[in-house]
Chain A
Amino acid sequence: EADIYQTPRYLVIGTGKKITLECSQTMGHDKMYWYQQDPGMELHLIHYSYGVNSTEKGDLSSESTVSRIRTEHFPLTLESARPSHTSQYLCASVGPSSYGYTFGSGTRLTVV
């Protein structure tokens, strides 16, 4: 069963639109992550958070931003979507006693 939820599952949006990808987890995990993954390709860490009001950029530069106002919620926002943002976005979390990331099902974003 999934304890980390991502919405929407699929999104097709026009260039220039602002979008927010939602990620929520019910496990009380303090560490949360966003990865970007092109089809059949490796995972790239774009943002992470170690707790409320803590956010950091990952290894891959991204034009997206994140916030962490509540422990369970870690949304990702694109202020102005572009076709180059077309990708799958995966959210993950881990807690001190969970040993291993738990991943959401992902959001597949297409910008036209």
Chain B
Amino acid sequence: AQSVTQPDIHITVSEGASLELRCNYSYGATPYLFWYVQSPGQGLQLLLKYFSGDTLVQGIKGFEAEFKRSQSSFNLRKPSVHWSDAAEYFCAVVGNNYGQNFVFGPGTRLSVLP
């Protein structure tokens, strides 16, 4: 069965510091991969996605993620965190068959210190 793990429940970084949020997945083939962000009390917003091709993908708000097939990982990075990045981040996978549902990770809460 597909699964997504986000090993870090809560991460705290200082504003201006770099950030990496980890995501590992278990899937029989290479799935489509996504990162979503959720501000408090809001819905989820798509940050970026990977389907194929270049393993480093750029997203909105200065985020990027790198797909590493050998490690079954899709880690999210940002070189310099802003206070407004404080939110919950969810990694998600779905098979490349349109009939499949997404599988979400448990989320990582990011806190940003001034």
Spell out A's residues near B (CB within 8 Å): 6, 33, 40-43, 45, 48, 50, 88, 90, 92, 96, 99-106, 108
Choose from B41, B99, B102, B106 the contact partner of A101 (Cβ within 8 Å).
B102
Nearest-neighbour CB distance to chain A for B19, whole angstroms, equals 19
Whether B49 contacts A100 by the Cβ 8 Å rule is yes
Which residues 20-39 of B sit at the A interface, judged by CB distance below 8 A?
Answer: 32, 34, 36
**3 interchain residue pairs of minimum CB distance:** A103-B43, A42-B106, A103-B44
In the complex, chain B residues whose CB is within 8 Å of the CB of A92:
44
Choose from A41, A99, A101 the contact partner of B44 (Cβ within 8 Å).
A101
Whether B107 contacts A42 by the Cβ 8 Å rule is yes
In the complex, chain A residues whose CB is within 8 Å of the CB of B18:
none
Spell out B's residues near A (CB within 8 Å): 32, 34, 36, 41-46, 49, 51, 88, 90, 92, 98-99, 101-102, 104-107, 109
With contact pairs A99-B51, A103-B43 given, residues A40 and B109 touching in the complex (Cβ less than 8 Å): yes
**Cα of A90 to Cα of B34 in the assembled complex, Å:** 18
**Cα of A1 to Cα of B85 in the assembled complex, Å:** 19
Whether A100 contacts B104 by the Cβ 8 Å rule is no
Whether B101 contacts A106 by the Cβ 8 Å rule is no
A102 — nearest CB in chain B belongs to which residue? B46
